[in-house]
């Protein structure tokens, strides 16, 4: 189950609000054959993250969540996680840890049709939180002040989930809504502009569209990542443009097979093209089919109802190393 994009923070009596974790989505569970940790495509993550092999999960339980690595301040960092899972396996940061935010099976019985509130209550009742597995808190009603608290702590964003929603595995749904502090998107790398002295200078980005790969504009590559991006993309070079519309050729342009997913931060995407986009990282569990242009969902807001200090306390209690 994956969230759609919300147009802005909102308060709602129909939703629970959670921290959006800057990690890799995964499922953690134990069956009769032992512990399993898989990504959303079903790939085995335990060889890359052996630290979670001894996670104390009861048999018959399946959890939905994210694998994260935190910085020195206890904030999840995708960059640190990517470095740990990359070819050099740089073990920096705190973790890894599995953040469990949903319970899909308990005692070998499926809970997917049960409402989110019930699944969250049963997850908390398992008592599985320890150094390997975190079970974060959530906030009722007050999404706007919660978003402000998340922004204050330098976190990625929030997710709003309807209290009564069942778990729907396929595709994106407006029952879950995401909101980033700094707008970001998953895009397909269709080309790389190379400077022989510097390395990669810009990415030519694309969205998956019905007719093929739609052009989504350029993304600037910071100098400290330029050489690495150049090297990481060489094996995907192509002799032709992957885009369905003409894109101007420029010196140093390397066309790419449309297979690599980049996470980019941007200043908006009012049309199909990103504004002032900046490369952040390669998506470790990228799926080209999911790199699409998202139309934000408009949600009506209501006045906040909870204590003013509650959002910050929920953020602090949610952070594994808070």
CA distances from 143 to 7, 15, 93 (A): 13, 8, 29
CA distances from 174 to 90, 109, 293, 298 (A): 37, 26, 15, 10
Beta bridge partners of 97: 68
Confirm if 219 and 187 have CB atoms less than 8 A apart.
yes
Is 20 annotated as catalytic? yes
Virtual CA dihedral for 56, 103, 125, 322, nearest 10 degrees?
70
Strand, coil or helix: what is 85? helix
To which residue do tokens 């399946």 refer?
62
H helical segments located in 203-272: 223-233
Confirm if 285 and 40 have CB atoms less than 8 A apart.
yes
Beta bridge partners of 139: 17
Distance from C-alpha of 149 to C-alpha of 151, rounded to nearest angstrom: 5
Tell me the catalytic residues: 20
């Amino acid at each position: 189950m994956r969230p759609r994009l919300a147009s802005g923070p909102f308060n709602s009596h129909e939703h629970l609000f959670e921290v959006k974790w800057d990690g890799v989505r995964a499922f953690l569970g134990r069956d009769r054959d032992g512990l399993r940790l898989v990504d959303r495509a079903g790939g085995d993550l335990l060889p890359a993250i052996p630290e979670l092999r001894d996670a104390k999960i009861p048999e018959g339980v399946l959890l939905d969540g994210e694998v994260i690595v935190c910085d020195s301040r206890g904030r999840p960092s995708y960059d640190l996680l990517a470095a740990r899972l990359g070819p050099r396996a740089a073990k920096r940061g705190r973790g890894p840890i599995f953040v469990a935010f949903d319970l899909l099976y308990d005692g070998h019985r499926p809970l997917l049709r049960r409402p989110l509130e019930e699944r969250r209550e049963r997850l908390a009742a398992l008592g599985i939180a320890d150094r390997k597995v975190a079970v974060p808190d959530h906030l009722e009603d007050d999404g706007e002040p919660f978003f402000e608290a998340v922004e204050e702590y330098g976190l990625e964003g929030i997710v709003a989930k309807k209290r009564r929603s069942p778990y729907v595995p396929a595709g994106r749904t407006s029952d879950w809504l995401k909101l980033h502090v700094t707008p970001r998107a998953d895009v397909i790398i269709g080309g790389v502009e190379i400077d022989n002295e510097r390395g990669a200078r810009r990415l030519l980005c694309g969205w998956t569209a019905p007719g093929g790969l739609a052009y989504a504009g350029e993304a600037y590559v910071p100098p400290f990542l330029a050489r690495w991006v150049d090297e990481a993309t060489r094996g995907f070079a192509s002799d032709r443009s992957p885009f369905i519309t003409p894109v101007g050729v420029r010196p140093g342009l390397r066309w790419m097979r449309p297979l690599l997913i980049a996470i980019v931060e941007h200043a908006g995407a009012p049309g199909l093209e990103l504004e002032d986009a900046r490369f952040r990282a390669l998506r470790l569990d990228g799926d080209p089919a999911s790199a699409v242009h998202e139309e934000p969902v408009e949600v009506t807001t209501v006045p906040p109802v909870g204590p003013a200090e509650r959002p910050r306390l929920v953020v602090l209690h949610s952070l594994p190393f808070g």
